[in-house]
Structure 1
Amino acid sequence: MRTFTYSAPATVDDAVAALSAAGPGAKFLAGGTTLYDLMKLGVEQPSTLVDVSRLAELATIAAGDDELVIGAGARMADVAADAVLRRDYPVLAESLWRAASQQLRNMATVAGNLLQRTRCPYFRETMFPCNKRDPGSGCAARGGVDRGQAVLGTSDACVATFPGDFPVALLALDAVVDVLSPRGERTVPIAGLHVEPGDTPQREHTLAPDELILRIRVPAPPAGRGSTYLKVRDRESYAFALAAAAVAVTIGPGGVVGECRIALGGVATRPWRAAEAERVVAGRRLTAETTREAGEAALAGARPGNDNGFKIELARRTVAEALRVAGERAAR
């Protein structure tokens, strides 16, 4: 690990100023569960760490009539255990408590979870070429072991899967994030935060290097909405998704679907909104046939590699089952 400088400002404004003054190579430090890991591997080599983990103003959780507001520094475990989230936003709570281990959830922050980097082994092992880590060097995952890689949103330059769960649930609920930089504050929709790799896989999101996430805001749920986060993985805990679905629906008279939101995890290079699948079920009853059609629509355009073609059928079934569970909850 290379040497670096460290500071722990007392306020958000001081933190943003400190990062700006430190110049290129400076990074914010929150829970550290991803950054420290990558520093030890030599993938991340920051010149300066600006610690925001102790800023109480970033750690709040507040539910109002119009929206839920989660501070960027709130710990995943605390947010998952919040009574309001468990009652009104189960898709969010489930996406958090199904992520990582309890020890990591006690440390990791929700904003850090939004920006965590891929678990692609070729990205994490510096002996292999990786366009995400070293632009222009190539993609060892193409032609390599790609069982865990993405089948949606891939490019010739990168097939790395986005690893997070919470951002997928936030995408299904049309959440936004407020960010701060020396230029002031702005709001970014979750739908516009992450980007597909294209020809520039080293660019993973639309934030500037000097922007700090302040809070996440989620619109209040409509009456009668049911939601769930279904995650399928090799083992029940401490494993990343092979396929996941965040679903939120409302059910009207006659069991007909009103509002429907579907997002996918574990199968794409970014949190993936399945808009066509939403249109498939809108105005229809959630029968086995309908949910199956939605699953097929959600995976339209998937491009499997050598070893991950099974993810397509797995994700179709995951979408169908998540729709069934969310529909049952909405109908109660």
Structure 2
Amino acid sequence: MSKRFFDPLVEKDAEILRELAENDSNVLSDAEDSSEGEEDAVENQLESSDTEQEISSEDDEEVEEPVVNTILGKDKITRWKLQMPVQNVRTRSHNIVSHSPGVKGAARNARSVLACWSAFFDDDMLNLIISNSNKYISSKKDSYSRERDCKITNLSEIKAFIGLLYMAGFHRNSRLNTADLWAIDNSGIELFRIIMSRNRFHFIMQNVRLDDKETRNERKICGKLAPIRDLFKIFVEKCQQNYSVGEYVKVDEMLPPFRGKSLFRQYIPSKPSKYGIKILALIDSKMFYTANLEIYVGCNLKDLTNLTIVLYLW
């Protein structure tokens, strides 16, 4: 009896188990189908992304990105970097600054205006002017009736003469008539009358010479600066002896105004003073000190020899 009572229950439980097994198999098959579909979708997405990357890479090749930290040159092709590239090399020995910039030599002891001026125009330079001037004055003695009218000069008188020239420039009277400077009606400058007479000033102005006139023609073969070459060379040497430039130097040009007679006078309309003597100079960019200079006398290779040496050495 008990066996008959439990048989239907066992059969019903078996049917329920079979139905559950069938449902689980259906769910697994659906999950497998969905996973296969997702894998196909992922593969399609990857393929599409690869093609998009290829297209984007092609677009990037066609469109050039702007270069950072550069500027375009005037030719619209060359690009200049705003910063110096890093160089993993040792600094060359000739580019190493082993000295400190500043005043050096005897100029370090200069404490007055006259001492500073004498560091560039010492007595040796002035004696060179005196000897050449006296030699020229002696050759003209026969044209004067009185000996006192052609008296030779000396060191103190040359210094006084140069001082009067500085004084005329200081008062902005360089273009004023000397009769007005030596006027005795209180309209002139008393210092001029005290130092020397107006006639003596004119005599020195007419007869001062910076070189030996007898050998000038021989020296003119080497260049047009023969009348001042010796004195100019000494002055440049003084500029180099009294100051040591730093690591920042440049070659620049200047045009001191000059409207006198000269074969190498230049006309540059863009300059404040359109007429003058063109000078190429090596200048300290920080202290604005002129360490070397050369006067431009035209396209003559003999006259530009010293300038070429300057540019090569510096």
Which category of TM-score, normalised to the shorter sequence, fits these structures?
under 0.3
TM-score (structure 1 length as normaliser): 0.25
More helix per residue: 2
More strand per residue: 1
Higher relative contact order (CA 8 A, sep 6+): 1
